Amino acid sequence: MSDFNEKDHPRDKDGKFVDKAGSSKASDKNGDAKAKAQKVADKIKFSRIDHFGRPIGDTPAETKRANEIVGDETLEYLRNKYPNDFKAKKALSIKEQVSATKEIWDKTESIGISIDYESTKQNRIRQVKNMLEKTDGFVERSDIGKIQVGDRIKKGLAYLNTDLEKACILAVPKVLEKGVIINKKNDHKGRGYSTITIANKVYFDDKHNGVMAVVVMYTNGHNYKVHRVLTLDGHDLTI
């Protein structure tokens, strides 16, 4: 093993070693972020995560503090420290997301949906765009801001599984506006973009209730991606 020679390892003005490129700022930043994450994790006594992917503390007060101060750096640290807790939540399907949150639907006001099986694909696209013409195709929420729907509806139709989902597409803007966030993914299926699932209880007539779940992707802003219409416990809905 060769002897350490300080002459080969210059220091900055604070006496810290720097690489030959001459800067220790990056390592300082990474070290500070890790230290901050450790401090937050220790303080909230993290034990598990909720269906939003956020830490839950051992008491309501700790959970509240966690949700106020936790950020991406801290979440990344927690994922690495507690991989088993995050693993089960990482790749939930839309059905699993709705099923995992079924207890909230009893407390949620339903949105009425009209079903139109007769419209053509082009007519549905035109109807959604006309509905959002005054907002340039956007739906706006107080928590995440604007979501582009009008320019994305054609591509979204290609992902739909059932005739019912296609027939309910005019309800997408209302669900995005009124619904609750039930899931967040920072790296959707390893594709480099994040997604948010927004859902709401819906009704079609006196006999049928369900949940419409709409996936929003973040690529140069929030954009509608796809939606599903399911039973209250996350199964396929048939009418």
Instruction: List the chain pLDDT tens, one digit each, 239 residues.
Output: 344 344 544 555 555 544 444 444 444 555 565 566 566 555 544 445 554 455 555 566 665 665 555 555 555 665 666 565 554 444 578 888 888 888 888 888 899 888 888 889 899 999 999 999 999 999 999 888 999 999 999 988 888 888 999 999 999 999 999 999 988 887 666 667 788 999 999 998 777 889 999 999 988 899 999 999 999 999 988 87
Measured distance CA(157)–CA(149) in Å, rounded:
12
User: Phi then psi for 89, rounded to 5 degrees?
Assistant: -100, -5
Q: Which two three-digit tokens encode residue 228? A: 């599903």
Q: pLDDT at position 216, please? A: 94
| Domains of the chain, residue spans | 6-87, 94-230
Q: Which two three-digit tokens encode residue 234? A: 């996350």
Strand partners, 185: 195
User: Phi then psi for 171, rounded to 5 degrees?
Assistant: -85, -10
Helices (H), the chain: 25-44, 60-69, 72-81, 83-87, 94-100, 121-131, 153-157, 163-167, 172-178
Q: pLDDT at position 22, please? A: 43
Measured distance CA(160)–CA(29) in Å, rounded:
44
Please tell me the pTM assigned to this model: 0.63
Query: Minimal CA–CA distance to 51: which of 209, 226, 180?
Result: 180
Q: pLDDT at position 9, please? A: 47
